[in-house]
Amino acid sequence: MLRQLATLSCKLWLVLIVVSASADGAWAESLYSIADLGTLSGFTASYAYGINDAGQVVGYVQTSSGASQAFLYSSNSMTGLGTLPNNGPSSYAYGINNSGQIVGSSGANYAVQPQQAFLYANGSMTPLPLPPGTLTGTSSVATGINSSGQAVGYLAFKTGVTDAFLYAGGIMKDLGTLGGTAAVANGINNSGQIAGTYSGQANQAFLDTNGSVSSLGGSNSSATGINNRGEVVGYYTTSSDYFHAFLYDGTKTSDLGTLGGTDSNYFADGINDSGQVVGYSTIGSTSEAFLYTDDTMMNLNSLIPTGLGWNLEVAAAINKNGQIVGWGFNANGQEHGFLLTPSASVVPEPSALVSLLGLGIAGMIGLWRRKRRAA
């Protein structure tokens, strides 16, 4: 009897291993539900860039001619945020915090009219004042905001140089080029740590902690996102001259690997406080969104229900609940923003399997649930 139970146990564990390793299998198809964010009237495309823990999404919609407007998607409805007065026909939203404060930029393009960073709160869009003494014609773009309302981004001067900035307490501080010839701040966490990129002979990812700037290493690297644990994501150039996504965990920088093959580029865009990373890969003109979790990179197109006709191109951000935003092409061939929400399924729980085998119950393989990393 013991030998039979042991044999059964081994067989079931083999099944478990095979199923768990098959991220492209049928069980994975229901890991996420997907919502098409649509567009606003008069616009043809939408792009989602940020999400807060309440599931509110920001980004921008665009016409076929390139005119854009920032949006907020909340409670299954999209609202246009308008533009700053006398500041061009377009606006773009890139970040939102848990208080619903939104940052981005408003304007046309740099060749026509300077962009101006904005803060949108309580139904009103206001410009972020430039640092004292800033030359007329300087553009500013806000890329991220934390729970305290501190925002980061960059200043673009007519000379072609860009400086990182920090906005706090109603004042914008020019952080300069951080030792390079240009710098961009791409994210800020609730502790005020800033991640971004400075350039010299090549780009270099950095982490700024209370004014102390550290290089994160890597050849021609850029930092694109940071979480509240101080973990940073971005991308760097490999020895084979391809871009690969990286994760900096506070002590070391690790390559996130690939979806298979050696001739693709990988870019990490966002990370949540559980260490889940999202981004995209490219090969030629083809782009595919990915999720990196539990040391494994997965194609997000394999984690949504089949038959919907979606091609998820870019995953831009992920919140603490595992909701993911980005953009791709829907079944009608429209390039739209999307919101993925985790569904309750489908990975077997090993501890339940072992305990029930110990009781001699063969029916335990009906106990399945999705394994998730604890927040």
The 3-state secondary structure of the chain reads CHHHHHHHHHHHHHHHHHHHHCCCCHHHHHCEEEEECCCCCCCCEEEEEEECCCCCEEEEEECCCCCEEEEEEECCEEEECCCCCCCCCEEEEEEECCCCCEEEEEECCCCCCCCEEEEEECCEEEECCCCCCCCCCCEEEEEEECCCCCEEEEEECCCCCEEEEEEECCEEEEEECCCCCEEEEEEECCCCCEEEEEECCCEEEEEEECCEEEECCCCCCEEEEECCCCCEEEEEECCCCCEEEEEECCCCEEECCCCCCCCCEEEEEEECCCCCEEEEEEECCEEEEEEEECCEEEEHHHCCCCCCCCEEEEEEEECCCCCEEEEEECCCCCEEEEEEEECCCCCECHHHHHHHHHCCCHHHHHCECCCCCCC
Alpha carbon distance 37, 158 (integer Å)? 36
Rounded mean pLDDT, 224-249:
97
- Confidence category of residue 113, pLDDT binned at 50, 70, 90: low
**Using one digit for the tens of pLDDT, what is the confidence trace for 341-366?**
999 643 334 433 333 333 332 332 23
Provide the pLDDT for residue 352: 35
Q: Are 188 and 151 in contact (CB under 8 A)?
A: yes
pLDDT at residue 288, as a whole number: 98
Statement: 34-347 belongs to CATH 3.30.70.1520: no
| pLDDT reading at 214 higher than 80 | yes
pLDDT at 86: 82
Q: Would you call 20 exposed, middle or buried from its count of C-beta atoms within 10 A (0-12, 13-18, 19+)?
A: middle
Looking at every residue in the chain, the average pLDDT score rounds to 86
Predicted confidence at residue 111, as pLDDT, reads 53
Q: How confident is residue 247, by pLDDT bands cut at 50, 70 and 90?
A: very high
Q: What is the pLDDT of residue 199?
A: 94
% of the chain with per-residue pLDDT over 90? 74
Predicted confidence at residue 246, as pLDDT, reads 98
List the one residue out of 120, 122, 166 whose CA is nearest residue 140. 166
Is pLDDT of 8 > 80? no
Predicted pLDDT of residue 201: 82
Mean pLDDT (whole number) for 106-110: 75
Which residue type is seen at 282?
A: T
Domains in the chain: boundaries: 1-31+348-375, 34-347
pLDDT tens for 261-299 read 888 999 999 999 999 999 999 988 899 999 999 999 999
Q: What is the pLDDT of residues 45-72, one digit of tens each?
A: 999 999 999 999 999 999 999 999 999 9
**Higher-pLDDT residue of 194, 346:** 194
- pLDDT of residue 18 exceeding 50, the answer is no
Q: Which two tokens stand for residue 361?
A: 């119950």
Q: How far is CA 243 from CA 246, 262, 272, in A?
A: 10, 11, 22
